[in-house]
Amino acid sequence: MSLADDQTLGTTETRDEDEMRRARAARVERTAKWALPVGIMVLAILGWGWIVSANDIPHYILPGPDRVWGSLVDDWAMLIDAAYLTGWITLLALLLAVVGGAGLAILFNQSKMLELSFYPYAVILQVTPVVSIAPLIFIYVDSKVAGMLLCAWLVAFFPVLSSTTLGLNSVDHNLRDLFRIYGANRWQRLRYLQLPSALPYFLGGLKIAGGLSLIGAVVAELVAGTGGIGSGLAFRIQEAGYRLNIARMFAALALVAAMGVFIFAALSVLSHLLLRNWHESAVSRET
């Protein structure tokens, strides 16, 4: 065997070893992605139970995990009905935020004067705490459900608007010049260049808005809870606190957290499915 053949064989073996090493690293990373958070959660629950048992903490101050689980099982019918209302308000507010935020971002992109006129007011709505606006909303809006929906929408609206606006304005100038050279009109530039380029920005804002819409729904329920609407998870947490049923408080809080995780996970999957074939943020994870 010649020296060149030896070098070729060695290069091939090195390449195969590198590919096997990368494959093992990818498998370990995929496993660790789920195993590590689950392991940390298990350790946290075990530590929580040990602290309660070792210090003999009364259940009306800090219940153990077994009591929280028992409350979740026993009160499941009531809690799932409350979760349905909270989830419905959250998802509807998110949908309205997507339609309103993305639509207004497109209008801002097409009209600079419109953006200069109204964008500062969108910023004002974002920086004003919703907890301070909610009481006024429930004074002027007769329907409590509509008021809760408006509060959640106000919180979720701005991330979609700002992210989509940034994406529409961040198109590669070389591609913009190319479209201009070929005589593309404004609609063609928007449809075939700006909207695809803004999609990653929009999806990033959408994942932020998903969590914020849940926060807005919870805050709105807390404000509206004394006004006749008392069936959301936030009200159940408040009600359980008044009755010193701390286990039910933890159970309802766990459902709120689970809803937030589910929304984020669903939007992350949606983002990956839409970007995996062409955008670096998704393509690089598969290579």
Pair (84, 213) in one structural domain: yes
Phi and psi based region of residue 244 (left: phi greater than 0; alpha: psi -120 to 50; beta: remaining):
left
Is 51 in the same domain as 71? no
Of 80-84, 126-130, 141-145, highest mean pLDDT: 80-84
pLDDT at position 199: 93
For residues 47 and 65, the answer to whether their CB atoms sit within 8 Å is no
pLDDT of residue 143: 85
Q: What proportions of the chain, in percent to the nearest 5, are helix, strand and coil?
A: 85, 0, 15
What is the C-alpha to C-alpha distance for residues 264 and 268, in angstroms, rounded to an integer?
A: 6
Domain end (from 56, 73, 101) = 56
Q: 222-278: per-residue pLDDT in tens?
A: 888 654 445 789 989 988 988 889 999 999 999 999 999 999 999 999 998 988 887
pLDDT tens profile 133-186: 888 898 898 888 889 999 999 999 999 999 999 999 988 889 988 998 988 899
Same domain for 157 and 77:
yes
At 76, which helix (H) or strand (E)? helix 76-110
pLDDT computed for residue 201 by the predictor: 94
Compute the residue count for the chain: 287
The structure tokens listed for 213 are 């819409």
236, 112: one domain: yes
Do residue 83 and residue 40 come from a single domain?
no
Range of the domain at 34: 1-56
What would the pLDDT profile of 150-160 be if each residue is shown by its tens digit?
A: 999 999 999 99
User: Residue 96: which CATH number?
Assistant: 1.10.3720.10
pLDDT grade, residue 282 (50/70/90)?
low
Domain count, the chain: 2
Within this chain, do residues 19 and 124 fall inside the same structural domain, yes or no? no
Residues 50 and 124 in one domain: no
Q: Model confidence over 19-55: pLDDT tens digits? A: 778 878 778 788 888 888 889 999 999 999 999 999 9
CA 229 remoteness from chain centre: 26
| Surface-to-core class of residue 108, CB atoms within 10 Å of its CB (0-12 exposed, 13-18 middle, 19+ buried) | buried
| Cα 221 from Cα 54, distance rounded (Å) | 37
24 and 144 belong to one structural domain: no
DSSP conformation class of 63: -
286 close to 102: Cβ distance less than 8 angstroms: no
Residues 77 and 196 in one domain: yes
Does one domain contain both 72 and 207? yes
For residue 249, give the nearest of 14, 30, 60, 33 by alpha carbon. Answer: 60
Q: Please, what sign has the CA dihedral across residues 156, 162, 168, 171? A: negative
Is the same domain home to 161 and 46? Answer: no
What region does 56 belong to: left with phi over 0, alpha with psi -120 to 50, or beta?
left
State residue 286's pLDDT score.
Answer: 45
Q: Which is more confidently placed, 285 or 83?
A: 83
For the segment 174-223, what is each residue's pLDDT rounded down to a tens digit?
998 899 898 889 999 999 999 999 999 999 999 999 999 999 999 888 88
| Residues 270 and 203: beta-carbon distance below 8 Å | yes
Residue 217 neighbours by CB distance under 10 Å: 32
The verdict on 38 and 168 lying in the same domain is no
State the pLDDT at residue 173. Answer: 87
Query: 139: which residues sit within 8 A by CB, 6+ positions away?
Result: none
User: Where among 22, 39, 56 does a domain terminate?
Assistant: 56
